[in-house]
A and B are shown apart, each in its own frame.
Chain A
Amino acid sequence: MGLVQNQIEGAGVSTISMTVQPHITGSVGAPRAAYIRYPAGNQLGEAGKPQQQRAIVTAVLEAASQIERPGSIIELPYRWRRFPVQEEPRFLGESMGPRHPQVEAIGESLDQLVNLAKDYQSYLEKRVADAAAAEPSIAGLERTLATQAQRVEHLVDVLDGEALDQLREIANAIATLELRATGKFV
């Protein structure tokens, strides 16, 4: 992708690429790229979801007009939460490909964990504010609480980023293998 993109940019046409593997995009080099934590084949979202697709296309085009540094990769704020994609009424009866109920259960549990961790983060942030306002103040309490609140925020990032990415990539890799083995892809 980056190899073609760079030549188009060199011909005087601005470009922005979408990537789901930024380590490849970053290594090969691309003038502008937008990283989305979605599966390959679903960069604009789900089948039959035009509003979602339009929002993502618009976000990427707007990013193209905002990026100022050659070689930049920006990350879009979206997260993939369907394992696999759930059926849309207009597509009922179509093949959904392989389903792995265990993966869906892990996905739902991760969502719950993210929400619980966010609640805990809010609670700790409130404690920080309380400690700041407390009279008399306890030495170091506000700072220590704030550090722990930041660690919970990092925990949210790990659950909502790396952990969700791993699950999505595993599920998608297995699904691709199974679909290829059944001759679904030509």
Chain B
Amino acid sequence: MPAEYKDWVFDESEKTKYQTWMDRIKTGHTGTQDVRNQRINWTPLEKPLSQCTVSLFTTGGVHLSSDKAFDVASAHGDWTFRQVPANIDTAHLAVTHTHYNHVDADRDVNCMFPLDRLRELAGQGVIGGIAPNAYSIMGFNPDPARLIEETAPELARRYQEEGADLVLMTCG
């Protein structure tokens, strides 16, 4: 059954909510920068989902258990990314993040990073397939300069090179 969508309205009270949040973050974390996109890029999705190669991204701090964990001790956050092979057994994934409740994701990463679900949808033909790798960052980056200058362009390049038509992006 298809879900019913409604447009979410970005009104003055929501703008105030953001400003209050940003002011609180700036008080709590020195060096915080309020960086916003100056223009919104747009790549129309021109194929039906059943022909799309889908990839996955999260800011939720997911990584291979065997990989280096994200740095959650630094007051400046961690701008680096981790690669997650799309065919990995999700039991081999771990979550390193201290800014949200990931008790559920620790037990079943799919409630935040739905790799098993994407594989099932590919198997059912709902989507065309899955790109070879998914990527993850740990979203706490009060000053996103290196995230913007180093991580984001590299990820954009990889998603494009790996043939992704659509990237599903989840947060922690």
Contact = CB atoms under 8 A, between A and B. Distances in A.
A in complex with B: yes
Interface of A: 1-24, 26-31, 34-35, 39-50, 53-55, 57-66, 70-78, 85, 91, 94-97, 172, 175-176, 179-180, 184-186
Given A23-B14, A29-B37, A9 B111 contact: no
Given A23-B21, A54-B117, A76-B3, A17 B169 contact: yes
Contacts, number: 252
B156 A10 contact: yes
A65 B21 contact: no
The 6 A-B residue pairs whose C-beta atoms are closest, nearest first, are A29-B37, A59-B3, A47-B108, A11-B156, A10-B41, A17-B169
Interface residues of B, number: 76
Contacts of B3: 55, 59, 62-63, 76-78
A110 to B, nearest CB: 20
Q: Which of A48, A64, A95 has the most CB of B within 10 A?
A: A64
Nearest to B103: A97
Interface of B: 2-8, 10, 14-15, 17-18, 21-22, 35-37, 40-45, 48-49, 54, 57, 59-60, 69, 72, 96-105, 107-108, 110-112, 114, 116-118, 120-121, 126-127, 137, 139, 144, 147-148, 151-153, 155-157, 159-160, 164-172
A43 B43 contact: no
A interface: dominant SS = mixed
Given A7-B148, A13-B164, A50-B117, 4 more contacts: A2-B37, A12-B43, A42-B111, A65-B45
A91 B107 contact: yes
B107 to A, nearest CB: 5
A72 B9 CA distance: 9
B169 A1 contact: yes
Contacts of A176: 99-101
A8 B48 contact: no
19 contacts: A2-B36, A11-B160, A12-B43, A15-B167, A16-B166, A16-B169, A18-B168, A43-B170, A44-B112, A47-B104, A65-B49, A73-B7, A74-B5, A74-B8, A85-B104, A97-B103, A175-B101, A176-B100, A186-B98
Contacts of A78: 3
Contact of A23 (B18, B156, B160): B18
A185 to B, nearest CB: 5
Contact of B120 (A54, A85, A91, A186): A54
A6 to B, nearest CB: 5
A14 B49 contact: no
Contacts of B159: 8, 11, 13
B6 A74 contact: yes
A100 B98 CA distance: 21
A5 B55 CA distance: 13
Nearest to A85: B104
A4 B151 contact: yes
Contacts of A185: 72, 97-98, 102
